[in-house]
Chains A and B, each alone.
Chain A
Amino acid sequence: GNSVTQMEGPVTLSEEAFLTINCTYTATGYPSLFWYVQYPGEGLQLLLKATKADDKGSNKGFEATYRKETTSFHLEKGSVQVSDSAVYFCALSDEGGAQKLVFGQGTRLTINP
């Protein structure tokens, strides 16, 4: 079945550091790929998405590129802020059928001032 594997956490960085959170997937066909973020005490929010190979999703300084050849969708940000502290989930959605999201296990990110 389809699956998503995320970089093990937790990740702790200093403010203004460069961030990479790795995400790889296994899927048949051509899934859509997503990054969701869960801030403390809040629900999941869509951060960015990409729907086909070589698409780049971007939002709030975060970027991720859909790489079909390496089945990856790594999340990057050039300069993190304390307010980026949250849990980040990589997810995929199969083409067709139900909008079933398959999530990775999440990566907890803490940014220190």
Chain B
Amino acid sequence: ETGVTQSPTHLIKTRGQQVTLRCSSQSGHNTVSWYQQALGQGPQFIFQYYREEENGRGNFPPRFSGLQFPNYSSELNVNALELDDSALYLCASSLGGTVSYNEQFFGPGTRLTVL
């Protein structure tokens, strides 16, 4: 069984640019959540996709957007990058997007640096 994978591992961008991060969910999982983890902090929920629809959003501006594909993989897009967007971006997959106690399986993350 393949776990959650993310690409790329590391990324360096400059302010104002746009970035796309990718996530492949664990086999059989239909829900993908994205989190931002700033250095020394806990992860912050960005949004969740369940069966290709956005199923909840955290306190992030609209320049953070996403997609989920029919195979349940997902993309996170960030436009107009700001220095504060520098963080580790974590993807997590799970089953049944509305069941609060289901385990989320996390990928290793993409480290984004904005200069």
Contacts and interface: CB of A to CB of B under 8 A. Distances in A.
B97 A99 contact: yes
Interface string A50-77: 0100000000000000000000000000
B56 A98 contact: yes
Interface residues of A, number: 27
Contact of B42 (A49, A89, A97): A89
Interface string A12-45: 0000000000000000000110001000001111
Interface in A76-113: 89, 91, 93-106
Contacts of A42: 108
A100 B90 contact: no
Interface string B72-115: 00000000000000000010101001111111111111000000
A99 B107 contact: no
The size bracket of the interface on B is 20 to 34
B104 A97 contact: no
A31 B75 CA distance: 28
Nearest to B59: A1
Contact of B41 (A95, A99, A101, A106): A106
B104 A101 contact: yes
Given A98-B48, A100-B48, A101-B104, 14 more contacts: A43-B109, A46-B103, A46-B105, A93-B101, A95-B100, A96-B100, A97-B98, A99-B56, A99-B97, A99-B99, A99-B100, A106-B40, A106-B41, A106-B42
